[in-house]
Structure formats: C-alpha cells, structure tokens
Amino acid sequence: MSVSGEKRGAIFSLVIPIYNEAGNIGELCGEIGKMIEARKGDWEIIFVDDGSTDGGWERLKDQKRQMGGVVRLIRLARNYGQTLALRAGIEAACGDTIVTMDGDLQNDPSDIPKLLKRIEEGADVVSGWRRERKDKLLSRRIPSRLGNLLISLATGVKLHDFGCTLKAYRSEIIKDVPLYGEMHRLIPALAAWMGAKIVEEEVAHRKREAGESKYNLYRVFAVIIDIITLRFFSTYSTRPAHVFGMWGITSILLSVLTLVLVVYMKWEMHFNMTGNPFLIITVLLIIVGVQLIALGLLGEVSVRTYYEMLSKRPYRIRETIGE
C-alpha cells in the first residue's frame, strides 16, 4: 500500500516520533501493518527520528524497505524534543486525518480505528484516555493526574488525560495549531481555543517492554510554564495591553493607598520617614505599575505588527453560507 503526494479519497497520516526506541520499532511496525490491513483507506506512516543514538534510524530504514511506500522517514538534525518532532511530522503529513502516537509500544495501534470513527462522527480532535495506566504510581500516575487537573482548570477543557500522545485530528485543525516547548500535551486546549470540537476516547495502555522512559521532573516544570503561556495567549494574545495594563493600574492604585498612609504617618503621627518601609513600597509600586503599562503597550504594538505584516487573521472561520 502506498500513498502519493496527491490526495485521492480519504488519506490517513500516522505520525510517530521516535527517540532511542530501536528495540520497539520492528514490533511496532508489525502491529501497525495489521491495523492498516483491517482498516480501509490510503495510509502513510511518518516516522520522525528525533536524534536517536541507539541505531534507531537504521532500523527505520530497514522497515521502510520491507513496508514500501506507505512509510516515510524524517530524521531531525538533533534531539529537539517530542513537541517539535510531532510538529515536523504533522507539517509533512498529507492526510485528511492525522493520528499521532508514541513509538514505545505503550499505545496500541488497534485503538486507532476507534479514534477515526469519532472523527467521522463529527469530532475535530479525539484525545486518547489511558484509563488503566501501566506506569508507576508515585512517579508517573499521581503527577499526571495533578497535571491533568491543573490543565483542565487553567484552560477550561475537561479531559482526563492530556498527556496521551495517541490522538486523532482533522488536518485543517492540527496544522494551524502552533507547537513549541512542551505544548503537545496542550493541543486539545489550543484546538478548543480555535473553536474545534474536542472529544475523548478510552484507549489501552501497555507496560513498556523495551527502551527507557524519557519522562523526567523537568517536564513537570516545562508543562507549568506552557500552561501559563497558553492561558495568556488564549485570553490576551490580541490585547496584551489589557492584562499588563490591568496589573499596572492595580499597582499604581496600591501605591496611592500606601502614599496616603505615608503622608498620614508623617503629618499626624510624626514618624521618621528615613527607612520607612511603606515609603519604599510606594516607590516600588509606582515603578512596577509604569513598567507594566509600558510593557502592555509594547506588546500591543508587537501583536498588531505580527497580524498586519503576515496578513494573519486572529480568528478561524468554521463555516460560511452564501456568497
């Protein structure tokens, strides 16, 4: 089975980032091949080697020789991380529907048809839910649950498992989602911000049999930073002066209150102002307030320049009726 660059009928793209998973590649391709045989349609499988050092690239080339044109390979210059590896594969994909999954065999390819069915039923993004996870409780499952709760509260998108890589997307949605940092976990929230319909589908999760987990505590902090970034861009990306200006004005108003207190202490209570902490706080609040307002204005100029120079619309139209 092969897929050409020209679209004909329904084309499905399966994007799999690979980093030091040489021991899993052969079995993974075998399971994917069985799934493709049972699922009608034209397929392409895009493996993105994210700077593997365990001979994974050679294994991928062997699999391509065996499976033929259905497999496409992308090799990144170095290890950029899972988010940018996914982005490289998504940008190269030509399918009408794009499915992403991990290359460690913990995702089950036989779950992919369930996700595609939900897309056919009208969903824009189908997010996998690893209800019965096979990871360690303290180091993986508990932090994951707390992270999912935090993301849900911060973004307003209620999902059980943002971290599951096994997801299906309409191509026109995912190709417009900006991916940086550790943002691949936040794709459903980013897509919802664009007006996409998000649904969740329960999928299997298997114990890792080969290779080593790439998860570490750094990712926890990276996700927190990305949540803050997402919250800002989803709410104030087109009006940064509002958020910075709001805090700037609040800071200046607080400085007025502390200034009144300082004047009262000086004239009514005859306090010595030398080293008075309220005087220092007043000056600090004024400086911070002015800087925040100035930062908001600079952000406003940058945002308007960005949209106008690139002719980029700050919105997405789902449907148009009539001329």
| Gap between the Cα atoms of 215 and 211, Å rounded | 12
What was the pLDDT predicted at 120? 93
R_g of the chain, CA atoms, integer Å: 25
Residue 72 and residue 18 in contact, taking contact as beta carbons nearer than 8 Å: no
Whether the per-residue pLDDT at 256 is higher than 60: the answer is yes
Q: Which of 78-82, 177-181, 268-272 ranks highest by mean pLDDT?
A: 78-82
What is the structure's pLDDT at 168?
A: 97
Instruction: With CA atoms as reference, report the closest residue to 226 among 179, 183, 190, 162.
Output: 183
The set of residues, in sequence order, having a beta carbon less than 8 Å from that of 70 and lying 6+ positions away, is 1, 2, 3, 36, 43, 44, 45
Residues 254 and 289: their CA atoms lie apart, in Å, by 9
Residue 155: per-residue pLDDT: 80
DSSP 109-134: GGGHHHHHHHHHTT-SEEEEEESS--
Average pLDDT over residues 118-143: 83
Give the helix ranges, DSSP H, for the chain. 22-38, 56-67, 82-92, 112-120, 142-155, 171-174, 187-193, 217-236, 240-267, 277-309
What is residue 274's three-state secondary structure? coil
In whole angstroms, how far apart are CA 136 and each of 140, 214, 218, 280?
5, 14, 17, 50
The percent of residues above 70 in pLDDT, for the chain, comes to 80
Question: In the block, which residue shows the tokens 């890589």?
Answer: 165
What CA–CA distance (Å, rounded) separates 298 from 304? 10
**Above 70 in pLDDT, residue 212?**
no
Q: In angstroms, rounded to a whole number, what is the distance separating the alpha carbons of residues 125 and 102?
A: 17
The alpha carbon of residue 269 and the mean position of all alpha carbons in its chain are separated, in whole angstroms, by 57
- DSSP letters, 18-83, are ESS-HHHHHHHHHHHHHHHHHS-SEEEEEEEE-S-SSSHHHHHHHHHHHHGGGEEEEE-SS---HH
Please report which confidence band the pLDDT of residue 219 belongs to, taking 50, 70 and 90 as the band edges. low
The answer on pLDDT for 199 being more than 90 is yes
Q: What is the mean pLDDT of the chain?
A: 82
Longest dimension (CA), the chain: 89
Beta strands 97-100 and 11-18: pairing type?
A: parallel
**In which band, very low, low, confident or very high, does the pLDDT at 4 lie, cut at 50, 70 and 90?**
very low
The pLDDT score that the predictor gives to residue 236 is 63
- The span from the CA of 166 to the CA of 147, in Å, is 18
